[in-house]
Amino acid sequence: MAALPLSWSFTTTTTSAPFVTRPSRMLIDAKRSDRFQVSCEQNQTGSTRSDEISHGKFDRRNVLLGMGGLFSAANLVSASSTFATPLEAPDFTKCSKGTNLNTGQPLDVDCCPPVTTEIIDYKLPPVTKMRFRPAAHLATKEYVAKYEKAVELMKALPADDPRNFMQQANVHCAYCNLTYDQVGDSDLKIQVHNSWHFYPWHRWYLYFYERILGKLIDDPTFGLPFWNWDNPKGMVMPAMFVNTSSSLFNARRNQIHLPPAATDLAYFGTQSVDTTQIISNNLTVMYNEMVRNVQTLEDFYGAKYNTGTQPDPGPGTVERGSHTALHVWVGEATSTGEDMGNFYSAGREPLFFSHHTNVDRLWTIWRDLRGSKAKDFVDSDWLNASYLFYDENAQLVRVKVADTLDNIKMGYEFQKVDTPWLKSRPVARAKKSKIASTTAAPSVDSIFPVKLDKVVKVLVPRPKKSRSKKDKENEEELLVIEGIEVDTAIFVKFDVFVNDEDDDPNTLDKAEYAGCFSLVPHKNSILSKTKIRLGLSELLEDLDVEDDENILVSLVPKAGGDNVTIGGIKIIYSS
């Protein structure tokens, strides 16, 4: 892993280049039914739709339509089949293996599932008995014995049974390692990470995995244990997974992270602070991901991703932060990080399922915290998106995002435990800092695109200042870091600070820490262009600089900075 650069120098790059080619603002939004409307409005997230539809297919369509000048009915109808439609369940017969998309090199992993022709549209069965998901560190002996038995039986199923443990691991690999073509756009691959598919897809994945285990031990109340890493009591690898004679054991882990090492939710390849600081950082990370930085749906869920969208449009807070950190923290200390630290092999790690059960639990908690605010996207492109899984009876079923919104309707609930991060709102190191007016850092229009092979500091103008309470309630102020170019085969991480005077990049329990960008690598790779958005309203309030015209943003590479280029930074307002 790359070490943290020691110098905190300004960048002196003077190249100025637009990092995103903006297609025409005119946009046609046609559903499969061929109903359509022409819109050039801003959408609710404050960007135009064309911002969200990545470069690639959509640019070509806009060009084609633009050449026609007028949007005649004829070209609308002929073009509509390629317009934004929900991501569709993949065609298993077209699962590809063999070549790395980025390098053209042979790929030594084949995770394609067994092919079945009959697909059943899945209906949530009526809930007669609730499944109970306990915290792993609180699980009883009896529970652990039951869970071990179930995984043992799963590992003993015939190798070609889709419910076999390795087959289940391959489900994750196939959906994450760019093996499936998008249905309706075979130029593009399916990737369920780094977008609004992250929560619903993983919820379905755990749902069937749990039902298969329950069936194997004939227990309809069996629920997966969650690794309660958001609570100091659960901030260590759960004991049941480190017993070498258990079916839950895996040898491919970073050996220095076995208990009693504290789980580091800001991990980037090395651990440079002591346990007390790690735990304090962790609570701030959780507060930021679950409270401060998620005032809008996109910021929690991730960016829109439909048929026709390039993979990795933008991960939500938990996905890119604590979730990614623990993948890499658990996996072997090698450049590829098997099993947990690489998407293709993560499902081979029994601990993966407890890690994600906690992510799934955080989704439920976040929705419960929203009160009367919108909890979910209403876009049919999200609700109608579908995936394929084998269920507990080895039948291939088609499932939809719309059925994942309520875990109770899906028949399971979580053990109730404390959420101490709710009270971990960080305080400022320096209130009313003057650093943004005294700094010699360059301003946004002079340095992008810039490579993150060193710390980059940049002065970012705020289009609005001194916003009223009402303004702030209506619209979140967001720092958008866009055109982030990365090779997805490499683990990368950078942290973002605002008006940071003490320049200590490993102390995150302060209001100046805005958040991070990070990706779990995968074997098959592409060059991705992605973005993140970081909430500023509360941060600026806590720093007491709401009347300032500029903020000083520090981008601090923590891992793989040589492989990250930033296209630009701006501030937007979004509801």
Shortest approach of ligand C2O to residue 561 CB, angstroms? 23
Active site members = 172, 193, 202, 323, 327, 343, 356
Contact pick of 53, 136, 346, 441 for ligand C2O (by CB under 6 A): 346
Of 202 and 529, nearer to ligand C2O (C-beta) is: 202
> What are the distances in angstroms from CA 393 to CA 162, 167, 208?
10, 14, 10
User: How many chain residues interact with ligand C2O (CB under 6 A)?
Assistant: 8
Shortest approach of ligand C2O to residue 527 CB, angstroms? 20
Start-to-end Cα distance in the chain: 38
Shortest approach of ligand C2O to residue 88 CB, angstroms? 19
Of 346 and 553, nearer to ligand C2O (C-beta) is: 346
Q: Is residue 193 at the binding interface for ligand C2O, with CB under 6 A as the rule?
A: yes
Q: Is residue 190 at the binding interface for ligand C2O, with CB under 6 A as the rule?
A: no
Q: Is residue 172 at the binding interface for ligand C2O, with CB under 6 A as the rule?
A: yes
Of 174 and 460, nearer to ligand C2O (C-beta) is: 174
Q: Is residue 28 at the binding interface for ligand C2O, with CB under 6 A as the rule?
A: no
Backbone phi, then psi, for 352, in 5-degree steps? -50, -45
Interhelix angle 198-216/350-369, rounded to 10 degrees, is 120
Shortest approach of ligand C2O to residue 311 CB, angstroms? 13
CA distance 109 to 98: 8
- 185: CB partners within 8 A, 6+ apart: 57, 82, 307, 308
Q: Is residue 529 at the binding interface for ligand C2O, with CB under 6 A as the rule?
A: no
Q: Is residue 323 at the binding interface for ligand C2O, with CB under 6 A as the rule?
A: yes
What residues form the annotated binding site? 172, 193, 202, 323, 327, 356
Contact pick of 2, 89, 176, 566 for ligand C2O (by CB under 6 A): 176
Q: What pairs with residue 487 in β-bridges?
A: 527
> What are the distances in angstroms from CA 400 to CA 128, 203, 389?
22, 11, 11
Q: Is residue 327 at the binding interface for ligand C2O, with CB under 6 A as the rule?
A: yes
3-state SS class at 530: strand
Q: Is residue 197 at the binding interface for ligand C2O, with CB under 6 A as the rule?
A: no
Shortest approach of ligand C2O to residue 38 CB, angstroms? 37
Shortest approach of ligand C2O to residue 336 CB, angstroms? 15
What residues form the annotated binding site for Cu cation? 172, 193, 202, 323, 327, 356
Q: Is residue 133 at the binding interface for ligand C2O, with CB under 6 A as the rule?
A: no
Task: With beta carbons less than 8 A apart as the criterion, state whether 539 and 486 touch.
Answer: no
Map tokens 């609005």 to a residue. 464
For every residue of 58-80, which 3-state class applies, written as one string? HHHHHHHHHHHCCCCHHHHHHHH
CA distance 452 to 486: 11
Q: What pairs with residue 185 in β-bridges?
A: 182
Backbone phi, then psi, for 573, in 5-degree steps? -125, 135
CA distance 134 to 359: 14
Judged by the rule CB under 6 A, the positions of this chain that interact with ligand C2O are 172, 176, 193, 202, 323, 327, 346, 356
